[in-house]
Structure 1
Amino acid sequence: MSFASTTGAPAAGAAAQAEPIKVMLVDDAVVVRGLVGRWISDEPDMTLVAAHRSAREAVADITRQDPDVVVLDIEMPDMDGLTALPLMIAAKRDLVVVMASTLTRRSAEISLKCLSLGAADYVPKPESNAGVTTSPAFRRELIDKIRALGRRHRLPARASATAARAQTAAAPARVAAPSIVPHAHAPHAFKTRAFQAMLPKVLVIGASTGGPQALTTVLRGLQPILERVPVLITQHMPPTFTTILAEHTAKATGRPATEAKDGEPVQAGHIYVAPGGRHMLVKRVGATPAIQLDDGPPINFCKPAVDPLFKSAAQVWGGAVLACVLTGMGSDGSHGAGDVVAAGGNVIAQDEASSVVWGMPGAVAMAGHAAAVLPVDQIAAKIVRLFSGDRS
């Protein structure tokens, strides 16, 4: 799994960018510390403030080094990453922690657990030290995430602006005219569209960095409609991680949720998760929509990617598609959102204040594809109203 750089994400202010992002690296493998430490030091906007072989040492050093971002291994002797994470966050409440884990089921389970405990994101690590040294994708993804999350961490007054931004973003959903409504969403100006009148029949969701937490928030709020609506999700994740995400989604919603299988019919009441390493599309088999898995090259540096899901859904259901773009790096989903709008469907984007990274939803909003830009805790209620025929 790899990501585009922060295309579509808001740039940090000049003052925030002038000071390098301070990074702490915690990994018991000396080869990994040396190599990844050099990668970080080679970036002009980053500085390596410490590299520890012990999570216990790192916890004790948080206050002194005051890092912006910690890259934290999971499997370590003495103290593992799962144990260290809450101690680090307790030492510095606004600390950004990126978990580094191999593609094993155990590591994937722990990584998703860490997200629920306050980690900002994770990076799948090659299983061997030799793999780390020969993986440009791992290097690119790690550096991109440090940069995007470190910059986001430095945006001023994020918490104090949350309420005002939420009100600004929510207001257009209650406006019937004009069809395009301007927003003063400092520091970005974007426009929302009027909601189209067609009743939606399917919900498609795209997410990346910060997505698992956002998905849980949204899906738990959809209980009134989940029994009668098919939900298709593309979350940027590698194999194994998507398997566990589907399992967690089933537990959180009480509805069937599985990794999608090629050729299976799309049924109401079922949640389909794009499997890691395959693009998920939909096609018609006779009169029935069905899943189509594609093993083509990455799109927007992602596999699975959101754009092909959105585009194919628009081709199958036309204006009856409701698309939702949640927090994430890059701009994946923006072109597909345009396809949904062109077919007569509607798009909702998560707002900046509640996003871990406002890349993907920001790209959708700035392109003018969104009919609403909402805080994550307001999205489910809006989706339920739209599936019930309410456009207010």
Structure 2
Amino acid sequence: MDPIKVLVVDDTILYRKVIGDVIASIPDAEVCGTAANGRFALTKIKTFMPDLITLDIEMPEMNGLELLEELKKTGMKLPRIIMLSTLTTRGGDMTIRALELGAFDFITKPQSGTAAENMEKIRAQLTPAVAALIQEKKFRSRLQNARATLARTAMPRQTEAPKPTRPATPPPRTTKRPVSRPSEVVAIGISTGGPNALAAMLPKLPADIGVPILIVQHMPPVFTKSLAGSLNNKCAIEVKEAEDGDLLKPGLALIAPGGKQMRVEAHRDGIHRLVRITDDPPENSCKPSADYLFRSVASHYVGRATGIIMTGMGQDGFKGLQKMHDTGAVILGQDEASCTVYGMPKAPAEAGITSKVVPLSEMASALVNTLK
């Protein structure tokens, strides 16, 4: 497979070099060109046809958002685009808008530190995203080769019906799960591609859905508040960034704040549930972590919960979903075809704990069906 071609777009020479050096250090990736703003980038995109663009948001002449809008007007298939953003409210709002316009993912620019430290911070964020794109390209290449081989070696259709085979006996269950009842809470874990997936799914939910929804979206501080505000404007239900002590209410979606962990606890009245926002350590290198949330849901809603795992890199959420599954929860997983990155839903599906694999377009209706 040819290396993936990366176009680096940033108005700062330093960042063009830092990002270029990081890309050069990743096997199967190479920098095909650079541009100092969106206007120059338009020409370079047509010339080099990159697989990936790293795109600064704030640039003179034509910024990152304006470039995305211009590319969208052309109707061309966008390459994968990773935004570089500042860790500010303005940066968060602009990043959410960039994701809505088709960006694949984003990383944050370091606000302090030496050049060497900042390069390592960017490397730690950028390398997994580039690696995921490389793996996706390799998978597509293998799939195309397999189809071509199958077409060349296809055997003629048999005229004699094959002999029936005895179905395999399923292994005996070692434990008995609690019986699932209509769900009283929905917990969602999601990462890369999440903002767009949530924007496609949550607006389809009715205002009278009747249950609270808890969401872990892998994002840094500030960005989760921007995401909640954007989704709230699109949805019939209320969406907000969670605060410590928020009560779980029907029709309220709470998004775990970036850089914190979120879990469910019982209210002192013994009837209601609330969320606790903590500074507990990361899990699976994630803070917030879906595993952290799912475990608490498994404890407080035995047989009365829906767990949903959607697009994202890595396996965060898998162990927590196993606990939810063992306590009788219904588990929905997004299908591979509609995922931006088929990482987080893959392990639960392969382990057989996913009750149903659902395309993004049908996730809202599948969710509602678990409440009946």
**Shorter-chain TM band:** 0.7 to 0.9
Any conservation in 2 of the 1:62–1:92 contact (CA below 8 Å)?
A: no
Further displaced range: 108-117 or 147-156: 147-156
Partner of 2:216: 234
TM superposition shift of 1:128: 5.5
Further displaced range: 130-139 or 239-248: 130-139
Partner AA of 1:320 in structure 2: R
Q: Work out which of the two has the higher radius of gyration on C-alpha atoms and give 1 or 2.
A: 2
Any conservation in 2 of the 1:323–1:347 contact (CA below 8 Å)?
A: yes
Alignment of 1:162-311 (within 5 A): 197-223=180-206, 225-226=208-209, 228-286=210-268, 287=270, 288-311=272-295
Runs of at least 5 residues in structure 2 that lack an aligned partner in the other structure: 145-167, 171-176
1:66 aligns with 2:49: yes
Q: 1:155 to 1:196 in 2, by over 3 A?
A: farther
Aligned residues: 341
1:54 aligns with 2:37: yes
TM superposition shift of 1:129: 8.2
SS at match of 1:245: helix
1:118 aligns with 2:102: yes
Give me the whole-angstrom Cα distance separating, in 1, the residues matched to 2:9 and 2:257. Answer: 30
Partner AA of 1:78 in structure 2: E
Give the RMSD, CA atoms, in angstroms: 2.6
Partner of 2:24: 41
Q: 1:43 to 1:207 in 2, by over 3 A?
A: same
Give me the whole-angstrom Cα distance separating, in 1, the residues matched to 2:121 and 2:179. Answer: 40
Q: 1:275 to 1:135 in 2, by over 3 A?
A: farther
Q: 1:214 to 1:241 in 2, by over 3 A?
A: same
TM superposition shift of 1:97: 0.9
Partner of 1:168: none
Partner AA of 1:200 in structure 2: S
Q: 1:195 to 1:47 in 2, by over 3 A?
A: farther
Partner of 1:175: none
| TM-score normalised according to structure 2 size | 0.85
Give me the whole-angstrom Cα distance separating, in 1, the residues matched to 2:191 and 2:169. Answer: 30
The Cα offsets for residues 16-48 of structure 1, whole Å up to 9 and x where unpaired, read as xx3212111101111111111111101112111
Any conservation in 2 of the 1:21–1:151 contact (CA below 8 Å)?
A: no
Give me the whole-angstrom Cα distance separating, in 2, the residues matched to 1:199 and 1:315. Answer: 16
1:312 aligns with 2:296: yes
Any conservation in 1 of the 2:178–2:303 contact (CA below 8 Å)?
A: no
Any conservation in 2 of the 1:63–1:92 contact (CA below 8 Å)?
A: no
Give me the whole-angstrom Cα distance separating, in 1, the residues matched to 2:127 and 2:39. Answer: 24
Q: 1:219 to 1:45 in 2, by over 3 A?
A: same
Partner AA of 2:17 in structure 1: G
SS at match of 1:290: strand
Any conservation in 2 of the 1:68–1:95 contact (CA below 8 Å)?
A: yes
1:358 aligns with 2:333: no
Give me the whole-angstrom Cα distance separating, in 1, the residues matched to 2:169 and 2:56. Answer: 49
Any conservation in 2 of the 1:63–1:91 contact (CA below 8 Å)?
A: no
Partner of 2:160: none
Q: 1:131 to 1:230 in 2, by over 3 A?
A: farther
1:82 aligns with 2:65: yes
The structure whose RCO (Cα within 8 Å, separation 6+) is larger is: 1
SS at match of 1:143: helix
TM superposition shift of 1:149: 3.0
Select the residue among 3, 19, 37 that pairs with 2:2: 19
TM superposition shift of 1:151: 3.5
Q: 1:128 to 1:85 in 2, by over 3 A?
A: farther
Give me the whole-angstrom Cα distance separating, in 2, the residues matched to 1:54 and 1:376. Answer: 34
Partner AA of 2:276 in structure 1: Q
The Cα offsets for residues 347-373 of structure 1, whole Å up to 9 and x where unpaired, read as 101000000000001122112220011
Partner AA of 1:303 in structure 2: K
- Alignment identity in percent? 35
Select the residue among 341, 348, 369 that pairs with 2:353: 369
TM superposition shift of 1:91: 7.7
Any conservation in 2 of the 1:96–1:153 contact (CA below 8 Å)?
A: no
Further displaced range: 342-351 or 93-102: 93-102
Partner AA of 1:99 in structure 2: M
1:379 aligns with 2:363: yes
Any conservation in 2 of the 1:100–1:122 contact (CA below 8 Å)?
A: yes
Any conservation in 1 of the 2:185–2:212 contact (CA below 8 Å)?
A: yes
Give me the whole-angstrom Cα distance separating, in 2, the residues matched to 1:346 and 1:137. Answer: 38
1:140 aligns with 2:124: yes
TM superposition shift of 1:335: 0.6
Q: 1:224 to 1:153 in 2, by over 3 A?
A: farther
Give me the whole-angstrom Cα distance separating, in 1, the residues matched to 2:103 and 2:3. Answer: 21
| TM-score normalised according to structure 1 size | 0.81
Any conservation in 1 of the 2:180–2:304 contact (CA below 8 Å)?
A: no
Further displaced range: 331-340 or 259-268: 259-268
Any conservation in 1 of the 2:203–2:236 contact (CA below 8 Å)?
A: no
The Cα offsets for residues 41-82 of structure 1, whole Å up to 9 and x where unpaired, read as 011121111122222111101122121000000111121001
Partner AA of 1:371 in structure 2: S
TM superposition shift of 1:285: 2.6
Any conservation in 2 of the 1:35–1:133 contact (CA below 8 Å)?
A: no
